[in-house]
Amino acid sequence: MIVTLTANPSLDRTIGLTGPLVRGAVHRAATTAVDPGGKGINVARVLHGAGLPVLAVLPADVGDPLLAELDERGIPYRAVAASGPVRVNTTIAEPDGTTTKLNTPGAACPAGTLDTLRHTLLDHADGAAWTVLSGSLPPGVPDDFYADLIGGLRGSGSRIAVDTSEAPLLALATRFPESAPDLIKPNTDELAQLTGTDPSALENAAATGDIDPAVSAGRALVEHGVAAVLITLGAAGAVLVTADGAWRASAPPITARSTVGAGDSSLAGYLVAERDGAGPADRLRHAVAYGSAAVSLPGTGLPGPGDADPTAVTVTAVNPVTPSPRPLPHS
């Protein structure tokens, strides 16, 4: 079983346009779609589609439209009572794959709701293969919520994956190695936040084929207790860094239609391969295959095994990078 936590779930409404988005203009939608959203829910949807047993934990009231969408897709979940309706996020998708996202903050999460959410997660994570802590935090939740959860999960026997950003991510890093997860999945912006690196330098280097800065930053996280660092680099592919080595994967050629859910799909693809007993290189291969498949799908469509082609992804081992990684700025 893989348990995912989505503390700030959403209903994702996608509007597909027939042409480029023009600010201030009137547009007629070519397509519309509504999907259950939030990063942890996205991961659960991909894992469920791949046939893995999964449980999504989230705050939502009985009768909330989000739960109806999960029921319709057959996604198992445990919902705790919330303080208001689930937020609605809007994605505007242009024909060339450009996506514009309008995300609302979500309902406040008072202490009582937060305690129930925490206990529900810990109960179901006991004995789970993985627990995934993913996405933003709703208003009223302390930035160190994920760091505290990792402490509570240590005795559960479950490995822990984290995919978040900004204040919750920095609060997590402040408490490394105590709060270091088994797997963390930063993009270049998030990796820069964690390591004090220039995000544009990381991105520009990766775009030209130089992944040494990303690998060096990943090694810094490993030195601070993170077991595996899965770094997504957009069109440049991804990098995986562990204590045993580093690998890079090149993304296959695709026609980009939407970047929504690509990172979540990459994380899910990694877990799919891990649950099949794959080694690091093949885990990375599946991560990039699933992430690329998500980009090739419209709106908030998420890939199934039939959409992802790991054989199209090239993975190579990376030689050690010198000098040694510098300390994290948050240590």
User: Which residues are part of the catalytic machinery?
Assistant: 264
Both structure tokens of 128: 């789970």
Q: Are 161 and 131 in contact (CB under 8 A)?
A: yes
Q: What is the biggest distance separating any 2 CA atoms in the chain, rounded to whole angstroms?
A: 56
CB of 99 closer than 8 Å to CB of 153: no
Residues with Cβ within 8 Å of 112's Cβ and at least 6 positions away in sequence, in order, are none
Q: ∠ CA(162), CA(100), CA(248), 5° rounding?
A: 45
181 Cβ contact list (under 8 Å, min separation 6): 133, 150, 160, 161, 162, 172, 226, 227
Tokens linked to 105: 């903050």
- CA-CA distance, 289 to 311, in Å (whole number)? 8
**Phi, psi angles (nearest 5°) of residue 111:** -60, -40
